[in-house]
């Protein structure tokens, strides 16, 4: 914290191909992850590996240009380490973005899904970033996860998408995290569909669980970059380059939506900075 004058209230995690979200920050201070003690390295194409501080519409922000995924070999504790760092800095809100495949038939590549809820597949089988001794200074042993995607921010985003004339692209839905790094088989895709999953990806949920545990309000967006193949007659085949390409094509729209949400969200100026406590 001594190397930047920014005291962020909002943190943003950029999904695959969405690193440009950091570009709109003014008065930037940038730090490579390799220069930050305790931070893992980004190893995935489309994740630059930089922490960017700056101002956006009068709000102080910190942006992860590059996130960590479990499939890179990081422990879940490591993948979510930045969230606790943000909490200690006084951040109140986490905005998560990701690239995801559409499982629901009504979502198409290029659409934006406001995350209403999630299914934590790794968590359901025991891979949870909150495993191990609980640090009560961050949050309770048994945190509730119902309502972890802030209702007011979701409704604000819908309102903004109407004003930006992109409401036709924006829907709400359930995101499921799978472990990756392989994409889904057709049988897995069909299972996800029957389970009520709207979009699937390999990230986000551990970050949201840790953020929710330590009392951050969370807003999440999935950019639908591909459809998940559910038919044996469909010869489509997803690949990471295609995912990044849709990210590039829709980057400006996602940026506009995120910027407006940040601009209009309420910030509590009685910040709860824990840096003296932990
Ligand atoms: O979730 P983000 O980081 O946006 O990336 C998504 O895109 C990659 C696959 O193309 C996977 O890492 C998946 O999780």
For the chain, which residues make up each domain, given as ranges? Answer: 10-127+142-266
Q: What pLDDT is recorded for position 267?
A: 84
Residues (pLDDT < 70) of the chain are 270-278
Packing angle, helices 205-213 and 81-89, rounded to 10:
40
| pLDDT attached to residue 17 | 87
> Helix crossing, 240-264 with 151-163: angle to 10°?
100
Per-residue pLDDT, 276: 43
Ligand 1 atom showing the smallest separation from residue 15 Cα: 4
Buried residues in 195-231 as b, exposed as e (16+ CB within 10 A)? eebbbbbbbbbbbbbbbbbbebbbbbbbbbbbbbbbe
Distance in Å from the first CA to the final CA of the chain: 14
**What pLDDT does residue 278 have?**
40
Q: What is the pLDDT of residue 274?
A: 57
Q: Which two tokens stand for residue 17?
A: 């191909």
User: How many angstroms separate the CA atoms of 209 and 130, rounded?
Assistant: 8
Q: Pairing between strand 26-32 and 112-120?
A: unpaired
ipTM above 0.95, yes or no: yes
Which pLDDT score is estimated for 47? 81
What's the 182 CA to ligand 1 centre distance in angstroms?
A: 11
Residue nearest to atom 12 of ligand 1 (CA): 202
Does 24 belong to an annotated binding site?
A: no
Q: Is 126 exposed, middle or buried (0-12, 13-18, 19+ CB in 10 A)?
A: exposed
Residues 156-169: tens digit of each pLDDT: 999 999 999 999 99
pTM: 0.96
99 assigned ligand-binding residue? yes
269 annotated as belonging to a binding site for a ligand: no
Count of alpha carbons within 13 angstroms of residue 264, beta-carbon side: 16
Question: Per DSSP, what are the bridge partners of residue 70?
Answer: none
The CATH code for residues 10-127+142-266 is: 3.40.50.1580
Report helix, strand or coil for 178. coil
Give 31-40's long-range contacts (Cβ < 8 A, gap of 24+).
Answer: 31/3, 31/4, 33/66, 38/81, 38/85, 39/81, 39/82, 40/68, 40/72, 40/74, 40/78, 40/79, 40/81
**H or E, element range at 210:** helix 205-213
Indicate whether residue 217 lines ligand 1 (CB < 6 A): no
**What pLDDT is stored for residue 1 in this prediction?**
74
Q: Which residue's alpha carbon is at the smallest distance from atom 14 of ligand 1?
A: 202
Model confidence pLDDT, tens digit, residues 252-267:
999 999 999 999 998 8
Distance (Å) from CA 157 to ligand 1 centroid: 22
Secondary structure (3-state) at 179: coil
Burial of 267 (0-12, 13-18, 19+ CB in 10 A): middle
| Contact between residue 199 and residue 222 where contact means Cβ atoms under 8 Å apart | yes
* Residues with catalytic roles: 16, 47, 69, 71-72, 99, 202-203, 226, 240
Tell me if 189 sits within 8 A of 182, measured CB to CB: no
How many angstroms separate the Cα of 137 from the Cα of each of 77, 185, 209?
A: 16, 41, 16
CA of 179 to the centre of ligand 1 (A): 11
Q: How would you classify the pairing of strands 170-177 and 199-201? A: parallel
């Amino acid at each position: 914290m001594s190397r930047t004058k920014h005291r962020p209230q909002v943190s943003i995690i950029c999904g695959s191909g969405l690193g440009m979200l950091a570009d709109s920050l003014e008065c930037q201070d940038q730090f490579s992850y390799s220069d930050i003690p305790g931070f893992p390295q980004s190893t995935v194409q489309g994740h630059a590996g930089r922490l960017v501080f700056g101002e956006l519409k009068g709000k102080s922000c910190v942006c992860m240009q590059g996130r960590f995924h479990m499939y890179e070999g990081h422990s879940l504790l490591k993948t979510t380490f930045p969230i606790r760092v943000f909490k200690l800095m006084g951040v109140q809100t986490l905005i998560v973005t990701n690239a995801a495949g559409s499982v629901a038939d009504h979502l198409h590549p290029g659409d934006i899904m406001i995350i209403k809820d999630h299914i934590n597949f790794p968590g359901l089988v025991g891979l949870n970033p909150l495993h191990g001794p609980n640090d009560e200074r961050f949050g309770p042993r048994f945190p509730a996860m119902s309502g972890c995607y802030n209702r007011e921010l979701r409704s604000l985003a819908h309102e903004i998408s109407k004003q930006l004339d992109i409401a036709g692209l924006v829907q709400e839905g359930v995101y499921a995290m799978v472990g990756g790094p392989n994409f889904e088989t057709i049988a897995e895709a069909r299972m996800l569909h029957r389970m009520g999953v709207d979009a699937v990806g390999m990230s986000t949920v551990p970050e949201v669980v840790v953020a929710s545990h330590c009392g951050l309000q969370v807003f999440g967006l999935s950019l639908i970059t591909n459809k998940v193949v559910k038919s044996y007659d469909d010869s489509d085949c997803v690949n990471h380059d295609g995912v990044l390409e849709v990210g590039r094509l829709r980057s400006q729209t996602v940026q506009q939506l995120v910027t407006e949400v940040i601009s209009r969200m309420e910030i509590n100026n009685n910040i709860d900075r824990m840096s003296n406590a932990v």
